[in-house]
């Protein structure tokens, strides 16, 4: 059989996944498990005055805020999300209680019969109630403003996005003796454990979280499973029997967390055709609870001028609470919103100045040594010019961008440039996460790697194992990396923020080096490798100043589209990408991240619409909310250029989010060229395109 990736490793769980043998949470046989049904708020905002539970048959239970053991709160960075809505509901669908019992049918029916009397309050759906405000400045914007010979202002909007992981939210919880044991579709076993421990106030050793196969996550299972776990833990203390649920798809769409919608306004101050200053204002819709929104805002603000160096900045951002399902983590975590906005903006500024956008952007592109938006430095070599050149070559960009500019070409090609800070934003790695990799050589000389990184498709279980076996120069089949079990592994932090390879992978490499130094055949040797950040990285969380990330990954996306002026529909004809991820530990895995990020990005940029109507999501099913099918995408071509990172395993940085954050502007710049109108919001769907073409300005 032809080889496409001769240097790649077969993934650990590949065979079982293809054969249908991988055990996902709902595949686990547990006949005694009781079914859990959710009693949810049917209003967007109000006080709960009375809860009337119907008479429950034998073996059925109702659980709500009154059953909370210690604390009715789930820590999701900020601790404002209650386990169960107590006297107040803040969004349609908020969980008030659970009905638990042996028959799912009966439990569902009983849940519908729980009668809640509310005192309704006026919900807020507009971004008016700011609960988090952040601000930073660089240089002297007032001076740039004064000296400007041209000023340009524009506002951009991005919409909600739903993860549509193929496996919906699901959890199985049981008591092993007195130990609460959980298997769930999740990204962060230690977050889940922490949530249970906090709400019950119990000994951490009395909770064990084990990762089964996980069918996709993309951020949607970073925080939300913690809420579900806290709810089930409260129940299991009362019921003392195994519990399980699987969300039906429509419930998953209606009630789980989404990407933060945004509104970003930029003003550029230009002198002699160079942007000398930018004023940026970012608004994020946090939904009903803050949760991780503060960090989403931080990342978005830090990325507010994308991969460009602008000498003078004034950046402010706000998170607003509204009465819809809380928004939370989703691949990119704030930066897709601002990268879309700034990439479109800088192209529009160039057009307004009547200068070539390519030259204009090149003139502002960040270089090694430049001061970042938050007054840190780009410490490492930036190879964007090579990435850009290669991508343009692959796609025949230069010829096409000229040709498609002709009137009625009905075609467009767009190129986006972007970066992604790898690792937890700011000082989180050292102050909050404190990852510790455990590497053990057993007496039989097999090597066992223990991390809390969850493989939900990105192949990290294999990548991290490969780092160890490559560093030890040891046969891959003698190195084992089991799925996380909180009883056996230390926390290496969440599976998020593109940190797995750059942070945890680096620790795996260090651990393997230390193991190699101490290697004695036939003896058990255990190495614990704690995270120590590069000493030159300094960050002040309060002022948001310094080096926000230990390293950055960089990328270029080029998207070509054709346009049908009769239906205003756009077809993606080609996608080409180049990336600097430092070094690809496994090229096949990185190619997979590229492909998936591009597809999801096309969805974000032009296909996926989620509107809010009366506090509820208007699109209710997996047909209403259209993600791309195999017929909506062409083949994608990806090339990597090595640029080894000093603090990365074999020089590797991160790739999980990089491959998503730049797609929306690439496709929108292409659509702009095809329709000859400016795009200011995504998704750039046919209905919006029609408005622009029929009523908009050129």
Footprint on residues 377-416 left by other proteins (CB under 8 A): none
Where would I find the H helices in 473-586? Answer: 506-518
Q: Which two tokens stand for residue 491?
A: 């926390």
Can you tell me the distance from the alpha carbon of 276 to that of 274, in angstroms, rounded to the nearest whole number? 6
Site string for other proteins, 170-199 (x = CB under 8 A): ------------------------------
By the rule CB under 8 A, 616 interacts with other proteins: no
By the rule CB under 8 A, 3 interacts with other proteins: yes
Residues between 10 and 29 that touch other proteins (CB under 8 A): 10-11, 13-24, 26-27, 29
Residue 391 burial (C-beta neighbours within 10 Å; 0-12, 13-18, 19+): buried
Site string for other proteins, 238-257 (x = CB under 8 A): --------x-xxx-------
387, 599, 666, 675: which one binds other proteins (CB under 8 A): 599
Q: Which two tokens stand for residue 80?
A: 């404002």
Binding segment toward other proteins, per CB under 8 A, in 51-59, 354-362, 623-631, 666-674: 623-631
Q: Which is nearer to other proteins, 49 or 166 (CB)?
A: 166
Q: Is the peptide bond before 683 cis (omega within 30 degrees of 0)?
A: yes
Minimum separation from the CB atom of position 27 to other proteins (A): 4
Q: Which is nearer to other proteins, 29 or 520 (CB)?
A: 29
Minimum separation from the CB atom of position 476 to other proteins (A): 15
Residues between 428 and 457 that touch other proteins (CB under 8 A): 456-457
- For other proteins (CB under 8 A), the number of binding residues is 87
By the rule CB under 8 A, 624 interacts with other proteins: yes
Can you tell me the distance from the alpha carbon of 456 to that of 435, in angstroms, rounded to the nearest whole number? 20
Residues between 264 and 303 that touch other proteins (CB under 8 A): none
By the rule CB under 8 A, 657 interacts with other proteins: no
Residues between 70 and 129 that touch other proteins (CB under 8 A): 104-105, 108
Binding segment toward other proteins, per CB under 8 A, in 38-46, 475-483, 502-510, 626-634: 626-634
Q: Which is nearer to other proteins, 218 or 340 (CB)?
A: 218
Can you tell me the distance from the alpha carbon of 380 to that of 646, in angstroms, rounded to the nearest whole number? 9
Phi, psi of 304 (to 5 degrees): -65, -25
Q: Which residues pair with 637 in a beta bridge?
A: 576
Number of H helices, E strands in the chain: 18, 29
Q: Which two tokens stand for residue 246?
A: 């699987």
Residues between 24 and 63 that touch other proteins (CB under 8 A): 24, 26-27, 29
Minimum separation from the CB atom of position 601 to other proteins (A): 9
619, 643, 650, 673: which one binds other proteins (CB under 8 A): 619
Can you tell me the distance from the alpha carbon of 620 to that of 388, in angstroms, rounded to the nearest whole number? 40
Site string for other proteins, 455-474 (x = CB under 8 A): -xxxx---------------
Residues between 672 and 691 that touch other proteins (CB under 8 A): 685-687, 690
Q: Which two tokens stand for residue 665?
A: 């502007």
**3 state DSSP class of 411:** strand
By the rule CB under 8 A, 628 interacts with other proteins: yes
Q: Which is nearer to other proteins, 293 or 680 (CB)?
A: 680
Half-sphere exposure of 429 (CA within 13 A, CB side): 32
Report the candidate in 563, 541, 526, 543 with the shortest Cα–Cα distance to residue 685. 563
Query: Under a CB-based contact definition with an 8 Å cutoff, are residues 269 and 305 in contact?
Result: no
Residues between 200 and 219 that touch other proteins (CB under 8 A): 213-218
Half-sphere exposure of 614 (CA within 13 A, CB side): 3
Q: Which residues pair with 275 in a beta bridge?
A: 270
Residues between 138 and 177 that touch other proteins (CB under 8 A): 163-168
Minimum separation from the CB atom of position 638 to other proteins (A): 9
Binding segment toward other proteins, per CB under 8 A, in 133-141, 311-319, 503-511, 611-619: 611-619
Query: Under a CB-based contact definition with an 8 Å cutoff, are residues 77 and 292 in contact?
Result: yes
Query: Under a CB-based contact definition with an 8 Å cutoff, are residues 277 and 251 in contact?
Result: no
Query: Under a CB-based contact definition with an 8 Å cutoff, are residues 373 and 312 in contact?
Result: no
Site string for other proteins, 565-594 (x = CB under 8 A): xxxxx-x----------------xx-xx--
DSSP state of 407: T
């Amino acid at each position: 059989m032809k080889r496409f990736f001769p240097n790649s490793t077969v993934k650990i769980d590949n065979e079982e996944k293809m054969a249908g043998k991988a055990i996902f949470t709902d595949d686990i046989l547990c006949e005694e498990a009781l079914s859990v049904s959710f009693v949810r708020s049917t209003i967007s905002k109000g006080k709960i005055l009375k809860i009337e539970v119907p008479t429950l048959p034998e073996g059925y239970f109702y659980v709500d805020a009154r059953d909370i053991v210690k604390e009715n709160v789930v820590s999701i960075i900020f601790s404002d999300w209650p386990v169960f809505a107590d006297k107040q509901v803040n969004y349609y669908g908020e969980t008030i209680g659970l009905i638990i019992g042996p028959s799912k049918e009966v439990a569902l029916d009983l849940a519908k019969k729980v009668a809640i009397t509310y005192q309704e309050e006026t919900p807020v759906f507009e971004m008016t109630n700011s609960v988090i405000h952040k601000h930073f400045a660089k240089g002297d914007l007032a001076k740039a403003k004064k000296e400007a010979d041209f000023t340009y202002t524009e506002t951009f909007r991005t919409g909600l996005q739903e993860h549509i992981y193929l496996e919906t939210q699901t959890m199985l919880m049981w008591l092993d003796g007195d130990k609460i044991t959980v298997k769930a579709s999740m990204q962060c076993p230690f977050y889940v454990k922490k949530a249970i421990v906090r709400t019950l106030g119990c000994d951490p050793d009395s909770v064990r979280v084990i990762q089964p196969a996980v069918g996709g996550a993309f951020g949607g299972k970073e925080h939300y499973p913690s809420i579900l776990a806290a709810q089930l833990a409260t129940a299991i203390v009362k019921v003392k029997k195994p519990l399980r649920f699987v969300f039906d798809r429509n419930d998953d769409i209606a009630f789980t967390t989404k990407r933060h919608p945004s509104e970003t306004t930029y003003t550029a101050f230009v002198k002699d055709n160079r942007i000398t200053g930018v004023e940026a204002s970012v608004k994020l819709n946090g939904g009903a609870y803050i949760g991780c929104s503060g960090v989403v805002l931080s990342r978005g603000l830090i990325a507010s001028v994308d991969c460009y160096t602008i000498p003078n900045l004034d950046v402010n951002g706000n998170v607003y609470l509204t009465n819809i399902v809380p928004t939370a983590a989703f691949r990119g975590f704030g930066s897709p919103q601002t990268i879309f906005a700034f990439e479109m903006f800088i192209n529009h500024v160039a057009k307004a100045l009547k200068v070539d956008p390519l030259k204009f952007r090149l003139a502002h592109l960040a270089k090694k040594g430049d001061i970042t938006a938050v007054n840190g430095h780009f410490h490492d070599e930036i190879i964007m010019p090579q990435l850009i050149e290669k991508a343009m070559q692959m796609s025949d960009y230069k010829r096409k961008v000229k040709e498609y500019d002709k009137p009625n070409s009905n075609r467009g090609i767009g190129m986006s440039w972007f970066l992604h800070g790898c690792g937890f934003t700011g000082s989180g790695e050292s102050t909050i996460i404190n990852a510790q990799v455990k590497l053990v050589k057993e007496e039989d000389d097999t090597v066992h790697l223990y991390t809390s990184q969850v493989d939900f498709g990105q192949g990290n279980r294999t990548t991290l194992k490969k780092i160890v076996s490559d560093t030890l120069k040891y046969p891959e089949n003698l190195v084992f990396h089991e799925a996380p079990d909180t009883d056996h592994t230390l926390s290496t932090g969440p599976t998020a923020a593109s940190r797995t390879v750059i942070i945890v992978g680096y620790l795996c490499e260090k651990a393997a080096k230390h193991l190699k130094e101490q290697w004695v055949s036939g003896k058990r040797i255990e190495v614990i490798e704690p995270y120590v950040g590069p000493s030159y990285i300094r960050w002040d969380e309060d002022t948001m100043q310094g080096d926000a990330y230990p390293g950055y990954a960089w990328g270029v996306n080029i998207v070509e589209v054709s346009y049908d002026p009769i239906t205003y529909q756009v077809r993606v004809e080609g996608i080409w990408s180049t990336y600097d991820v430092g070094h690809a530990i496994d090229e096949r895995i990185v190619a997979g991240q590229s492909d998936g990020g591009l597809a999801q990005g096309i969805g974000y940029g032009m296909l996926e619409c989620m509107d809010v109507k009366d506090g509820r999501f208007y699109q209710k099913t997996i047909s209403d909310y259209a993600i791309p099918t195999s017929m909506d995408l062409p083949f994608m071509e990806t090339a990597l250029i090595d640029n080894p990172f000093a603090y990365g395993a074999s020089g590797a940085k991160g790739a999980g989010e990089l491959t998503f954050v730049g797609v929306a502007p690439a496709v929108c710049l292409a659509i702009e060229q095809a329709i000859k109108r400016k795009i200011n919001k995504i998704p750039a769907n046919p209905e919006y395109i029609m408005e622009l073409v029929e009523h908009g300005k050129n």
